[in-house]
Structure 1
């Protein structure tokens, strides 16, 4: 496997795990929303597991679909750094509940774009793995919609949060 591709997969896995850690922190900080945050944290860990599987396939010589990963390794590293900073900041000072929701929405909307947009724009399906990862990206978008729906039914309107 090419070094850059290996690095991108590694950073993408770390990003999913870090997002899971952030959502686990939100789970601990906001007991009234613990079910939402716990489910999202588990799903992010599942995304990391799917990426690990893809990484092992790469090491075994399987090809990766064109456009599957964002080619910008530095952008993924920056996203990772941001999420780690958020974990540290929110761990030290509990943010208002609304800030947790708006932060999660920003992360979900940017991550869905950053990782998989080029892949999703393609109509070609080369393998079952391609379709699986299309569903993975849809899961990220579903996270954003689920957070928005949850906020609408449990708190203020989204406009008030932003």
Structure 2
């Protein structure tokens, strides 16, 4: 069980960092949206940093905030592969601005990201949960923020 939790943490960190890389590519490509993409990329890196801290806490104390991670390791790995594929494809042939936003919206509704959002929205059961949420308070609702940004720019989701 410990090995599975550690692997889920590691893969979840890898997913957050892959998403941050993709958003950084979008930042470099879409000048009109560079602040938006930069903020999301930073927040994804922050998610990875918080999860890295949880690795340390888990090693020292043997506990994690309850329901922090997706439980389907295969789905998390598939999400990483999907994002890595998007990075490769985008690097070779950038998509349109609208497609980039639609892709980000899809990613933010994927297994690893939606699970993170659900954790952030649920009622806290422990001090550890509450502390994690407070550290990450401003780095949530990515899917909703992407959707609202698209509307504000006159783009269709």
TM over 0.5, yes or no? yes
Contact 1:20 1:44 in 2 (8 A): yes
Contact 2:8 2:73 in 1 (8 A): yes
Change (3 A) 1:64 1:88: same
1:38-59 CA-to-partner distances (Å, cap 9, x unmatched) read 0100010001000000010011
Matches within 5 A, 1:138-157: 139-140=139-140, 142-157=141-156
Separation of aligned partners in 2, 1:19 and 1:60: 28
1:2-43 CA-to-partner distances (Å, cap 9, x unmatched) read 111000000000100000000000001111110100010001
Quote the offset at 1:144 in angstroms.
Answer: 1.5
1:113 aligns with 114
Q: Structure 2: where are the runs of 5+ without partners?
A: none
Separation of aligned partners in 1, 2:41 and 2:132: 18
Contact 2:124 2:130 in 1 (8 A): no
Runs of 4+ in 1 over 3 A off after TM superposition: 114-117, 119-124, 132-140
Change (3 A) 1:112 1:138: farther
